[in-house]
């Protein structure tokens, strides 16, 4: 598309130059035909005709100051884009190596015996690798194409600026548009890839569960959970993830006491894991009769959804578990409304608790809840860099004063600020809408975490560990 667009621009430019030549020839012919009348008409007539020729010609000279400003802006934009692009290339295998690896995987998958049921585990690995390497190969080829287009267009603009010839306004505008468009696309794609390289944890590529729970604030807190539910649902859609409501508990007046979401897509857990913690809202409460400013809290917990293969080695002693049953309620007939099919499992040492009411069988709900608990313990152990899940103690999210990771202030001023990365914005509505504004907060947290880990690593190396 970019190449065809480039060809189109060149075609337009060449056509424009042919048109200019034709106009010049036509003007010269007109001069010859009217030579005698021009000589006899005197100086005034000659001056009048000169004005008509200038008005008819498409050749103009852009102001030097304006051209220099445009070039400076484009140079800065392209430098920023290529800087991130170079950094990404340094952390990525060469394109030739990726192509070779992709060819080997495709050759392996073309073997008829590859798809035998006995080889199912290898099938999944190869299929995922083919998809990953194919996507990366296309991305790298697109980066190169955008960079070449932007660089060539900027070089052409430099030639226009340094030449003494008169410039074709349309040609300059089209070239400038091509340079800016290619550089902006390269910058945007490079920034997105830079963030994806920060999602390299052992469980980052897994789906995840988001559990939103009302904290201090009563009815206001239930409404705050509803706002977060909307924000994360919209953000998941913005990131091309799929969202499913697994469980919900309605508030007494409005909103929800709790909502559990299942989010699936590439690197879903890695993208959302930084949202874990208490979220604080300050606004003029619509539920306050005096319309006073009120502070409320909601807790967000993020847990990876892991395969049986990932959690099979986790062993939790029965004495560390507190298992209770409950009626599931909702749809499903008398079985779920009268029989206690729902299961809640609490891990006593850490205080973590999970609940499952999805299935009509208590045994199945217990198995699902146990798997979720194991996944949550594994994720926490990885976050805390622990070798054993038995070292986990008290990692429950507390949605109250002093525990917040992010503040959303709507009164007396507008500001959203992350207490960890220090990233902030006045675009509260943009963040709550779950679009690019929230993406910036996630990206800022990921970069902050990378910097923090690198600093800790340097301190350990300095200490001789």
Neighbours of 36 (CB within 10 A): 9
* Residues 139 and 193: beta-carbon distance below 8 Å: yes
Confidence (pLDDT) at 257: 93
Per-residue pLDDT of the chain (465 residues; tens, 9 = 90+): 444 444 545 543 444 344 334 433 443 444 434 434 433 333 333 333 333 333 333 333 344 445 566 788 999 999 999 999 998 898 888 999 999 999 999 999 888 888 887 887 788 888 888 988 898 899 999 999 999 999 999 998 888 878 766 667 788 888 889 999 999 999 999 988 888 888 888 889 899 999 999 987 789 999 999 999 999 999 999 999 999 998 899 999 999 999 999 999 989 999 999 999 999 999 998 888 787 889 999 999 998 888 877 787 788 888 889 999 887 665 554 444 456 788 989 988 888 888 888 888 888 888 888 888 888 888 887 776 655 555 555 555 566 666 789 999 998 899 999 999 999 999 999 999 999 999 999 999 999 998 888 888 888 888 876
* Residues 108 and 123: beta-carbon distance below 8 Å: no
Could you tell me which of 251, 257, 231 has the C-alpha nearest to residue 243?
A: 231
222 CA to centre of own chain: 28
Check the CA dihedral 396-400-403-408 and report its sign. positive
- The secondary structure of residue 34, as a DSSP letter, is T
Q: What share of the chain is helix, strand, coil (3-state, %, to 5)?
A: 60, 15, 25
SS3 439: helix
* Residues 74 and 157: beta-carbon distance below 8 Å: yes
Confidence (pLDDT) at 201: 83
Confidence (pLDDT) at 317: 87
Rounded to two decimals, the pTM is 0.68
Confidence (pLDDT) at 5: 42
Whole-angstrom Cα distance, residue 86 to residue 80?
A: 10
Confidence (pLDDT) at 171: 83
Side by side, the strands of the sheet bearing 321-326 are: 321-326, 342-347, 352-356
Confidence (pLDDT) at 32: 39
Confidence (pLDDT) at 410: 94
Confidence (pLDDT) at 3: 44
* Residues 143 and 186: beta-carbon distance below 8 Å: yes
Tokens 């990726």 identify what position? 98
Confidence (pLDDT) at 67: 56
CA atoms within 13 A on the CB side of 366: 11
Could you tell me which of 429, 196, 209 has the C-alpha nearest to residue 304?
A: 209
Tokens 């999944």 identify what position? 124
Could you tell me which of 446, 448, 436 has the C-alpha nearest to residue 273?
A: 446
Q: Give 107-145 as a DSSP string.
A: HHHTSGGGGSGGGHHHHHHHHHHHHHHHHHHHHHHHHHH
């Amino acid at each position: 598309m970019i190449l065809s667009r480039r060809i189109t621009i060149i075609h337009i430019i060449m056509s424009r130059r042919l048109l200019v030549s034709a106009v010049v020839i036509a003007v010269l012919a007109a001069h010859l035909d009217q030579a005698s009348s021009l000589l006899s008409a005197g100086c005034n007539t000659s001056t009048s005709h000169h004005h008509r020729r200038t008005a008819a010609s498409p050749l103009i000279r852009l102001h030097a100051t304006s051209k220099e400003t445009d070039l400076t802006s484009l140079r800065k934009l392209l430098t920023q884009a290529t800087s991130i692009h170079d950094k990404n290339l340094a952390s990525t295998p060469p394109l030739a190596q990726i192509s070779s690896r992709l060819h080997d995987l495709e050759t392996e998958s073309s073997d008829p015996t590859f798809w035998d049921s006995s080889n199912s585990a290898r099938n999944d690995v190869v299929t995922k690798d083919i998809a990953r390497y194919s996507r990366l190969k296309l991305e790298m080829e697109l980066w190169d194409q955008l960079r070449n287009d932007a660089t060539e267009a900027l070089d052409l603009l430099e030639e226009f600026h340094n030449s003494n010839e008169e410039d074709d306004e349309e040609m300059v505008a089209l070239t400038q548009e091509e340079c800016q468009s290619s550089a902006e696309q390269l910058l945007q794609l490079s920034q997105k890839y830079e963030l994806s390289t920060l999602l390299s944890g052992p469980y980052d590529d897994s789906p995840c569960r988001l559990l939103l729970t009302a904290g201090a604030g009563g009815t206001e807190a239930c409404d705050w959970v509803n706002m977060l539910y909307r924000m994360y649902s919209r953000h998941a859609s913005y990131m091309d993830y799929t969202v499913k409501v697994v469980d919900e508990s309605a508030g007494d007046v409005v909103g929800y006491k709790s909502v559990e979401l299942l989010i699936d897509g590439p690197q879903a857990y890695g993208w959302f894991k930084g949202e874990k913690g208490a979220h604080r809202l300050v606004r003029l409460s619509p539920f306050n009769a005096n319309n006073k400013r009120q502070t409320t809290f909601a807790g967000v917990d993020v847990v990876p959804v892991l395969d049986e293969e990932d959690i099979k080695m986790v062993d939790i002693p029965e004495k560390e578990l507190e298992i209770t049953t409950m009626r599931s309620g909702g749809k499903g007939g008398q079985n779920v409304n009268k029989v206690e099919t729902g299961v809640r499992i609490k891990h006593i040492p850490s205080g973590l608790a999970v609940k499952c009411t999805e299935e009509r069988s208590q045994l199945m709900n217990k198995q699902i809840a146990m798997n979720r608990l194991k996944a949550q313990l594994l994720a926490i152990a990885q976050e805390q860099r622990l070798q054993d899940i038995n070292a986990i103690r008290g990692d429950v999210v507390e949605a109250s004063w002093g525990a917040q990771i992010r503040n959303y202030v709507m009164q007396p001023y507008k500001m959203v600020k992350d207490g960890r990365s220090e990233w902030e914005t006045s675009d509260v509505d943009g963040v709550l809408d779950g679009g690019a504004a929230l993406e910036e907060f996630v990206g800022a947290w990921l970069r902050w975490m990378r910097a923090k880990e690198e600093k800790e690593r340097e301190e350990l190396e300095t200490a001789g560990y």
